[in-house]
Amino acid sequence: MAAPNPVNRVGAVQKIVVPKLKHSLSLALQHYLPLAGNVTWAPDYSKPIIDYVEGNAVSLTVAESEADFYLLSGDNFRDSQYFNHFLPCLVDTETRVPVLALQVTLFPNVGFSIGYAVHHGVLDGKTTTMFMHSWAFLCTHEGDSTLTPELTPFYDRTLIVDPSNLQTTYLNFWLGKDAPNNKSLSLWDLKAPPDTMLGTFLLTQANIENIKKWVRVQWEKKQLQNPSVHVSSFVITTAYTWVCLFKARQIRGGKGDDGIAIAVKAIGEAIQGLKDGVLKGKEDLLSRAISIPPTRFI
């Protein structure tokens, strides 16, 4: 049997998959209209806004690559620079920057990848994940433009209670910084530095349960128990990742082998504190964040 013609295969992907992705993307954006807009901060504006008008669109780049798909998508260590080619850029100016950009990269005879760049002032991690899941849902449910309730975004900001007027506090702090143009929306270059590696690590449910048991034992030994802290899988995974980042960056916290137990307690108590309101005590959040040295910002 003759091997498939790679040119024909790529042509089939371009003719079938790409149009399907584009169509489902347009359906998803109808539910997430702000993502097709821009963050703008005109000189005469007191604050930046999300500017969307009918006819706005998201930049979608379609590319082709001969790179090793299985190497890039595997769990092994890879040079982080490899991935820069599969990520789009937000084309920014000092007064305007898109909210979202997308890139579909085709790998002949293997598959494709979807890379995205988002403006974190508009999308947090949960919203980005919801949008990507919505896009995937509409792509697999052809002919249906309706999203499930858990994928449907909610836009009513009046439900956010801000008695301390944090918006004004943060704006005044930012505009008061000693910088040439505090209203500039030009993006920071946050690409991974040269000679860095990227790896994928899998924590199984059994791994997580073992860490939970170990943490509880350490708490009993050190008398660190806090009955109000729920030791969830999220807390365990975050604490474990936190400690691994410290070790990878060779940051010494002075906690020795108790680092994970201490991290679980700290993260768990921080989550517990959210019951008093996610905005409580956040008046000096920006000043505290900026004062943290880059090596300690994890």
Average pLDDT (159-170) is 87
* Owner of token pair 């509880």: 216
pLDDT over threshold 90, residue 218: no
Tell which residue, 73, 88, 45, 69, has the closest CA to residue 191.
Answer: 88
CA distances from 79 to 4, 47, 107, 111 (A): 31, 39, 19, 21
CA distances from 139 to 112, 114, 277 (A): 15, 13, 37
Class of domain 6-155: alpha beta
CA dihedral in degrees (60, 62, 65, 69; nearest 10)?
60
Q: How confident is the model at residue 33 (pLDDT cuts 50, 70, 90)?
A: very high
Task: In the chain, list all ranges with CATH 3.30.559.10.
Answer: 6-155
Starting at the edge strand that comes first in sequence, how are the strands of the sheet with 49-51 ordered? 49-51, 38-40, 96-98
Amino acid identity for residue 257 in this structure: D
Q: Quote the CA–CA distance of 192 and 169 in Å, as a whole number.
A: 32
What count of Cα atoms within 13 Å lies in the side-chain half-sphere of residue 132?
A: 17
pLDDT over threshold 80, residue 39: yes
Amino acid identity for residue 295 in this structure: T
pLDDT of residue 255: 56
Strand partners, 98: 38
Least confident of 158-167, 188-197, 220-229: 220-229
pLDDT over threshold 80, residue 293: no
pLDDT of residue 163: 83
**Residues 68-114: pLDDT tens digits?**
999 999 988 999 888 889 999 999 999 999 999 999 999 988 889 99
pLDDT of residue 256: 58
Q: Identify which of 129-138, 163-172, 247-256, 264-273 has the greatest average pLDDT.
A: 129-138
- 104, burial (CB in 10 Å: exposed 0-12, middle 13-18, buried 19+): buried
DSSP string, 210-259: HHHHHHHHHHHHHT---TT----HHHHHHHHHHHHHHHHTT---S-GGGH
First to last CA, the chain: 54
Residues 6 or more apart whose Cβ sits within 8 Å of residue 166: 279, 282, 283
Residues 6 or more apart whose Cβ sits within 8 Å of residue 195: none
